[in-house]
Amino acid sequence: MAIAGHAEPLPSSLTLGARVHSWVVSVDHKRLGMMYVGFGLLFFLVAGLEAAAMRAQLARAGSQLIDPTTFNQLFTMHGTTMVFLVGMPILLGMANYLVPLMIGARDMAFPRLNAFGLWLFIFGALLLYYSYIGAQGLYGTSAAPDVGWFAYAPLTSRTYSPGNSTDYWILGIMVSGFGSITTAINLIATILVMRCPGMTLLRMPLFPWMMLVTSVLVLIAVPVLTGAQAMLLLDRSFGAHFFDTEQGGSAVLWQHLFWFFGHPEVYILVLPAFGFLNEIVPVFSRKVVFGYSLMVAATVAIGFISLGVWAHHMFALGLSPEMNSFFAASTFLIAVPTGIKIFTWLGTMIGGRIEFATPMLFATGFLAMFTFGGLTGIMLAVVPFDWQLSDSYFVVAHFHYVLFGGTVFGIFGAIFYWFPKATGRMLSERLGRWFFWILFLGFNLTFLPMHVSGILGMPRRIYTFQPDRGLDLWNLLSTAGVALQAAALLLFLWNVVHSLLRGKPAGNNPWNAWTLEWATSSPPPDWNFDRIPTVGSARPLWDVANPHDPDPSPEAHG
Amino acid sequence: MARRFMRFNRASVVCSVTMLAVLTAPSFAVDVAPICTPMGGEPLQSTSILSPISPPAREIHSLAALVVGVCAAIFIVVEGALLWAIIRYRRRAGDRGEPVQVFGSNPIELAWTVIPLVIVFVLALATVRTIKDVQRTEPPAGALTVDVIGHQWWWEYRIADEDGGPPVVTANELVVPVGRPVWLRLASADVIHSWWVPALNGKTDLVPGRFSNTWFEAEQPGTFLGQCAEYCGTQHANMLLRVRAVDDAQFESWRTAQAAPARDPASFAAGHSIFLRLACMNCHAIDGSSSGAFGPNLTHLMSRETIAAGMAPLNRDTLRAWLVDPQQLKPGCNMPSLQLTDPELDALVDYLSSLN
Ligand SMILES: [Cu+2]
Ligand SMILES: [Cu+2]
């Protein structure tokens, strides 16, 4: 093929130290991307263990397995880790790896800034976890943050959270937040100026499109969190009173600032996963995406609207009826472009010849679960209904359907899809299917009952629950579901290790896919492409494979 | 193939069962919390949001029924289409070549933009209407006004006296008349809490430095349960709510009893003097003896059914256990253990149990 690159055999003479060194000093977007994903998966295991410990405690009413303070640290660290140290790095890491390849570039626009971002993230993550050792001074007992991942004021003030654990939370997230900001700038620059000849914005694959919108959201939302955290730091250490209610500070201000970041963050975590689906669903349905332009428009619309819905996290605060109505309306509105996406994928599948390889299994699981989570989201937008459901286990169920059934399923689909590209070897399909089905079962067994617990009146973030409220069975089921998920993850780990060593060689394009990353070798050479490709449509490899039926170029198409 | 299938089948099952044991066994191996038993007595009302016994909760319930219905219909249509696509369009053995490429269709795309718009527009209208009905900014006519103050990890209630007298102050258990609206003015002494009794109304936060309101009207007598719904620190899980709705006559006699001065401590002089001598009086108010406001008002302690914000039934045993070490029953709570000796404990329990 004219646009293919070729693989350099790894010089096997390198010592281990030299290999590690070559990774540490690397500014190659592919290596940085893989390190992001690797660290993200590592923290996924950590956060998973934290979740498992919580479910062990909640297996039974009145259990005393884990004491309240430890439990409160567990859910704080679980939430913080999943959002900032799992979701963000894995998604930004995948973008790092894929975007230059998909747009036919040799690297990101700012390779060294890229490496800087990765190391900031790692440093921030270590700083957060160092709190377990250092939060009360090396000689005191250890203490991780226990203020919850959205750290509402004034619980975070020195009065109610003495010690340094909250400061570690602030600093760790702040530092890794700077990392995210640099990556966002880099992605925007890369997507806007580094596209290969012929690739107009409307011939760009949809994943880079999703990443463009995501990066803009990161750039707008994360600095607001960073600023709020700086204010909190000033409160805690330098006598400021932004959020100090005893001195006239405002607890509500923190919520506005946090959720102005927090809601776009939800879309920052899910838009890239939408991007994965936009690549996977068409390829495995063997059919071009149904309504490319509307998909792009819906994404941009989501980006805009998501900046104006934040107070739907604050309906129970007793804001004015007018405020509540406004934010309910904007939240309803965002359901429309989100729905468009789901319909687009359905429209793509219908009429196709769908092959249910593991990536497609996960994409389909995503569609099924995300739809459910989206619909419970609509229920939560109904303000009076939210007054009952908010801060209950129903909400916990809702956002796990969106972020686990959605984002995490999308990530696993993406890993199965692009692993061959990154490593040159296929993951085992058989193990992959087992993994999917056990995870799917375990996921639903864990989170479906949580809707019921919430409806029965169980608030979130409680270390124990009352025995006389009909909650016992539902909680036990949730715990059992976690056991299945843990088993599934062991299977996945085994699959990765085994396939890295023994997996079937992948070849350039194992899935007969259509975008540029499949035109080069697996793994791609350092320089990605021997010659910078030139494209005439959004699916260059389709055009090569089907010369009699090439894609119309979007300009001509209208 | 079949053998391999069996092997992984077995491996996965073994793996899952082991995990299940690892996760659940420890919790069943350790004892449950010391006094964590359901409380007997009159039947308690369910904490489910599906059994509303108050107008706002009822309105929310019927709006919820509409919304859940609409969402269920959408769910069936979308997941049905998905299932159909999975079954009808999966690749079959004989399939050769690529299917027809369809790049989109303006009418279809327009349809799946406009129809959802119409649906959410209707839902938004219904939402705004119910907000207007449920979220009052003025007290309903004839309402009983109660100030609720959230403390790390207990509730303070101040029931206004319509005749201008001082309010009745009590803790953790609110008694209200059946069939009369109750207007709650919510405030917090420390961090954010949230007042949530699902059968009566949705939750409203108690925010320091700010006042918020909510209301309800118990339509039948009974004990309604709930708990704090905004994470507020260590013992957030045990900041339980209890509202007892009784008929007018019972309410008035309860109120009169609560407004009465505390029992004369003369016959419990030993316990009384310990109470005054130790730090108790700095944190607790007993009418006529002390005015501490950091902990619950104890003037009519024994008129309550539970201790420690609903954690355990209140009786001599639990009271004593509490005084021996509050941290045992409610680890992390804001009452320290005062290291009392046995005779001191006996005397204090005698005194406190006389306060009804
Ligand atoms: Cu949101
Ligand atoms: Cu509370």
Which residues lie closer than 8 Å to A21 by C-beta, 6 or more apart?
Answer: none
Q: Encode pLDDT of B212-252 as tens digits.
A: 999 999 999 999 999 999 999 999 999 999 999 999 999 99
Q: What is the pLDDT of residues B144-187, one digit of tens each?
A: 999 999 999 999 999 998 888 889 999 999 999 999 999 999 99
Distance from CA of A288 to the nearest CA of B (A): 6
Q: Confirm whether A36 is domain-assigned.
A: yes
Q: How far is the CA of B188 from the centre of ligand 2 (A)?
A: 9
Nearest to B227 among A146, A459, A480 (CB): A459
B149 and B254 in a single domain? The answer is yes
Asked if A316's CB is within 8 angstroms of B194's CB, the reply is: yes
Total domains in chain A come to 1
Which ligand sits closest to the CA of A330?
1
Spatial distance between the Cα atoms of B181 and A83, rounded to a whole number of angstroms: 43
Residue A191 contacts by C-beta under 8 Å, 6 or more apart in sequence? A99, A103, A204, A208, A211, A212, A215
In the predicted model, is pLDDT for residue A88 greater than 80? Answer: yes
In a domain, A286, yes or no: yes
* pLDDT tens sequence across A147-178: 999 999 999 999 999 888 999 999 999 999 99
Query: Alpha-carbon distance B93 to B95, whole Å?
Result: 6
Residue B91 has its nearest CB partner, among A320, A355, A476, at A355
**Ligand 1 mean position, distance from CA A149 (Å):** 14
What percentage of residues in chain B have a pLDDT greater than 70?
94
* Domain boundary residue, one of B229, B244, B259: B259
Give whole-number Cα distances, B83 to A297, A367, B77, B104, B134, in Å. 27, 11, 10, 21, 40
Burial of A505 (0-12, 13-18, 19+ CB in 10 A): exposed
In a domain, A2, yes or no: no
- Max CA separation in chain B (angstroms): 99
Same domain, residue pair B269 and B254 = no
Closest ligand by atom to B149 CA: 2
- In angstroms, the CA B114 to CA B97 distance is 35
**Of A144, A157, A127, whose CA–CA distance to A74 is shortest?**
A144
Determine whether B78 is exposed, middle or buried from the number of CB atoms within 10 Å of its CB (0-12, 13-18, 19+).
Answer: buried
Percent of chain A with pLDDT over 90: 89
pLDDT score of B7: 65
> What whole-number distance in Å separates Cα of residue A471 and Cα of residue A458?
8
User: Does residue A4 fall inside a structural domain?
Assistant: no
Between A75 and A1, residue with greater pLDDT: A75
Residue A301: domain span: 27-557
Domain boundary among B243, B259, B275: B259
DSSP assignment of A508-540: S-TT---SGGGGS-SSPPTTS-SS----SSS-H
Matching residue, tokens 């002494």: B189
The shortest CB-CB distance from B33 to any of A64, A246, A333 is to A64
Six-digit token pair at A137?
């001074």
Q: Using an 8 Å Cβ cutoff, are A292 and A538 in contact? A: yes
ipTM for the predicted complex: 0.94
Query: What is the Cα–Cα distance from A208 to A214, expressed in whole angstroms?
Result: 10
**Amino acid present at B74:** I
Of B259, B280, B303, which marks where a domain is finished? B259
- On whether the CB atoms of residues A385 and B128 are closer than 8 A, the answer is no
CA distance A330 to A511: 40
Q: Is residue B86 part of a domain?
A: no
User: Which token pair is A308?
Assistant: 């104006």
C-alpha A180/C-alpha A114 separation (Å) is: 10
Name the minimum distance, in Å, from the CA of B248 to any CA of chain A: 28
B219 and B319 together in one domain? no
β-partners of residue B155 are B150
Distance from CA of A39 to the nearest CA of B (A): 24
Mean pLDDT of chain A: 93
- Residue numbers in B near A288 (CB within 8 A): 101-103
The reported pLDDT for the residue numbered B267 is 87
Q: Which residues surround ligand 1, an ion (CB under 5 A)?
A: A 263
pLDDT per residue as tens digits for the range B90-108:
998 888 889 999 999 999 9
Contacts of B63 in chain A (CB under 8 A): 382, 384-385
DSSP string, A275-307: HHHHHHHHHHHTS--TTHHHHHHHHHHHHHHGG
β-pairing, B182-188 with B144-151? parallel
Type of residue at B229: A
Report phi then psi at A95, rounded to 5.
-65, -45
Residue A380 DSSP SS3: helix
In Å, what is the CA distance from B225 to each residue of A72, A214, A389, A417, B201? 23, 43, 16, 50, 12
Q: Could A434 and B16 be called an inter-chain contact, meaning their C-beta atoms sit closer than 8 Å?
A: no
pLDDT computed for residue A391 by the predictor: 96
Q: Which residue of A has its CA nearest to B68?
A: A379
- Whether A3 is covered by a domain: the verdict is no
| B131 with A328: Cβ contact below 8 A | yes
> CB-based contact (8 Å) between A334 and chain B?
no
Tell me the CATH number at B255: 2.60.40.420
What is the pLDDT, as a whole number, of residue B46? 85
- C-alpha distance across the termini of chain B, in Å: 76
Please give the backbone phi and psi of residue B161, each rounded to the nearest 5 degrees, phi first: -100, 120
- Give the ligand at the shortest distance from the Cα of A327: 1
Q: Where are the alpha helices (DSSP H) in chain B?
A: 2-29, 55-88, 106-134, 248-259, 269-277, 280-283, 316-324, 326-329, 342-353
Q: How far is B222 from B244, CA to CA, in rounded Å?
A: 6
Nearest residue of chain B to residue A286 (CA atoms):
B98
Q: How far is CA B238 from CA A133, B162, B207, in A?
A: 29, 32, 19
> What are the backbone dihedrals phi and psi of residue B225, each rounded to the nearest 5 degrees, phi first?
-110, 160
b/e per residue A518-547 (b: at least 16 CB within 10 A): bbbbbbbeeebbeeebebebbbbbbbeeee
Q: Percent helix, strand, coil in chain A (nearest 5)?
A: 70, 0, 30
Task: Report the pLDDT value the prediction gives residue A5, as an integer from 0 to 100.
Answer: 46
- What spacing in Å lies between the alpha carbon of A193 and ligand 1's midpoint? 32
In a domain, B308, yes or no: yes
Give domain status of residue A360, yes or no. yes
Which pLDDT belongs to residue B263? 87
Block residue for tokens 């709020």: A228
Are B186 and B211 contained in the same domain?
Answer: yes
Which two tokens mark A386? 């939210």
Question: What does the DSSP assignment read for B137-178?
Answer: SSPPTTPEEEEEEEETTEEEEEEPPTTS-PPEEEESEEEEET
Considering only alpha carbons, which residue of chain B is nearest residue A345?
A: B82
Q: What is the distance of C-alpha A366 from the center of its chain? A: 13
Res. A378 pLDDT band, cuts 50 70 90? very high
Whether the upstream peptide bond of residue A154 has omega within 30° of 0, thus cis, is yes
B130 chain-A contacts, CB cut-off 8 A: 382-384
Q: Which domain holds residue B189?
A: 144-259
pLDDT digits (tens, 9 = 90+) for A233-260: 999 999 999 999 999 999 999 999 999 9
Rounded CA-CA distance A21/A16 in Å is 8
Q: Residue A282 pLDDT more than 70?
A: yes
With 0-12 / 13-18 / 19 or more C-beta atoms within 10 angstroms meaning exposed / middle / buried, residue A88 is: buried
Residue A462 lies in a domain: yes
Closest chain A CA to residue B205: A317
- In angstroms, what CA-CA distances link A79 with A18, A102, A461, B36? 36, 32, 11, 29
By C-alpha distance, which of B104, B272, B319, B37 is closest to A466? B37
Measure CB to CB from residue A155 to each of B64, B78, B191 and give the nearest one: B191
End-to-end Cα, chain A, rounded Å: 30
Q: What percent of chain A is modeled with pLDDT above 70?
A: 96
Q: Which residues of chain B have a CB within 8 Å of the CB of A349?
A: 82, 85-86, 89
The single-letter code of the amino acid at A70 is T
Residue written as token pair 């718009």? B117
Shared domain for B236 and B321, answered yes or no, is no
pLDDT at B162: 84
Per-residue pLDDT of chain B (356 residues; tens, 9 = 90+): 456 656 666 777 777 788 777 777 777 777 776 554 445 455 678 899 999 999 999 999 999 999 999 999 999 999 999 999 999 999 988 888 899 999 999 999 999 999 999 999 999 999 999 999 999 999 999 999 999 999 999 999 999 988 888 899 999 999 999 999 999 999 999 999 999 999 999 999 999 999 999 999 999 999 999 999 999 999 999 999 999 999 999 999 999 999 998 888 888 999 999 999 988 999 999 988 888 889 999 999 999 999 999 999 999 999 999 999 999 999 999 999 989 999 999 999 999 999 98
φ, ψ dihedrals at A186, nearest 5°: -60, -45
pLDDT digits (tens, 9 = 90+) for A197-237: 999 999 999 999 999 999 999 999 999 999 999 999 999 99
CA–CA dist A81, A403 (Å, integer): 13
- Residue B72 forms part of a structural domain: no
Q: Which residues have CB under 8 Å from B234's CB, separation 6+?
A: A68, A69, A72, A146, B152, B153, B331, B332, B333
The pLDDT, as a whole number, for residue A556 is: 41
- Can you give the CATH number for the domain in which A111 is found? 1.20.210.10
Contact A552, A524 (CB under 8 A): no
Q: How far apart are CA B34 and CA B25, in angstroms?
A: 19
> Is B230 within a domain?
yes
Domain-embedded: residue A21: no
Please name the member of A288, A340, A468 whose beta carbon is closest to the beta carbon of B103. A288
In which band, very low, low, confident or very high, does the pLDDT at A141 lie, cut at 50, 70 and 90? low
pLDDT of A16: 87
**Which amino acid would we find at residue B241?**
L
Type of residue numbered A419: F
Q: Who wins on pLDDT, A367 or A468?
A: A367
- Per the structure, how many domains does chain B have? 2
Phi and psi at residue A353, to the nearest 5°: -125, 85
Sort out which chain B residues have CB atoms less than 8 A from A329's CB and list them.
124, 128
| Closest chain A residue to B200, measured at CA | A388
Nearest to residue A150, comparing CAs of A309, A258, A310, A311? Answer: A258
What is the CB neighbour count within 10 angstroms for residue B10?
10
pLDDT at residue B5, as a whole number:
58
